[in-house]
Structure 1
């Protein structure tokens, strides 16, 4: 079951969510950015953080590209080692829970559709502000938004993976895209 964002009072409802290890892509939805902006305000209200430290990333931030129906949010912090229980508690107030995901230079939080924690709708990727990972992730988003050929190539890679795999999993999907992503990151250095 997908999470529905919005209500029945005339607001547009978008469907977000993936189960653990599920890989599925859906057509671009112009409401993804509005959802990001709503969540950005929520994050700012509980963390008292400048808006320039909260960015929309991932495929839902790339215009007119199919994507997994999950909103990825980049959160720039001064020191990853100082993400404390207070910050975790404040993010829980708006539905984000720290995941036990081991990633270099990144702490990941997720929002779920309900208390069963089966379907994720949003990720917060906390990284060091304006350091390499921060810069690469924003560059990737901006580069694909500005370069139609690479944007189409990225969409094709994702679709090729799903066509080739009867039982896709998130780690294989991510690995399948890695070479392309690194190629785009390398363009930042020139």
Structure 2
């Protein structure tokens, strides 16, 4: 299997907003899909952020266990495939563009409402959009650790530690 091409660049979120809204409409049209709220998160949601051209969507359901095998099959029919669910409190799916390289252009994070993971997604997104220092620190983290992207497990581990420090360290930021 070929490796996924990874590149980061400064993104203009306006070019991704329409794709985000179109994808939400498609997901809402899935028959018998549990009711949910959604938010555009990640680099494509923030203007001039460094990142990959991957739209990150947070989908929040009342109960994570409402997402059943039938919902997963319906997501599969739309091109989504389960990426992770290792007891982290959320399920993630990627919309695969190229199975040979495992390239994807949309990633869903399905989280249960009012859990710590849900609150952390929302709070970190809020901080990136409203705290210039945290935004710049995260941009610098991406630049400094870009070479780890080819080893995604190592990059994700370092990124999660970085985000956890921010979430635990910013006592002056207001939680929403």
Residue 141 of structure 1: CA displacement? 0.9
Q: Distance in 2 between matches of 1:133 and 1:100?
A: 14
Structure 2 stretches lacking a partner, 5+ long: none
Structure 1 stretches lacking a partner, 5+ long: 1-18
The answer on 1:185 being equivalent to 2:167 is yes
Deviates more, 1:112-121 or 1:32-41: 112-121
Residue 67 of structure 1: CA displacement? 0.7
Structure 1 partner of 2:8? 25
TM-score by length of 2: 0.81
The answer on 1:141 being equivalent to 2:115 is no
The answer on 1:174 being equivalent to 2:160 is no
Q: 1:44-94, CA deviations, whole angstroms, 9 ceiling, x for partnerless residues? A: 1113634xx111112222221111221111111222233212111222232
Report matched runs for 1:1-190 at 5 Å: 20=4, 23-30=6-13, 31-46=15-30, 47=33, 49-50=35-36, 53-99=37-83, 101-114=85-98, 116=100, 118-162=102-146, 165=147, 168-186=150-168, 187=170
Q: Distance in 1 between matches of 2:56 and 2:142?
A: 17
Q: Distance in 2 between matches of 1:158 and 1:38?
A: 28
Deviates more, 1:174-183 or 1:36-45: 174-183
Q: Distance in 2 between matches of 1:117 and 1:95?
A: 15
What's the secondary structure of 2:11's corresponding residue?
coil
What's the secondary structure of 2:29's corresponding residue?
helix
* Alpha-carbon contact 1:23-1:169 (below 8 Å) kept: no
Deviates more, 1:34-43 or 1:89-98: 89-98
TM-score by length of 1: 0.76
Q: 1:143-165, CA deviations, whole angstroms, 9 ceiling, x for partnerless residues? A: 11111121111101110112xx3
Number of aligned positions between the proteins: 167
| Runs of 4 or more above 6 Å deviation | none
Q: Distance in 2 between matches of 1:166 and 1:40?
A: 31
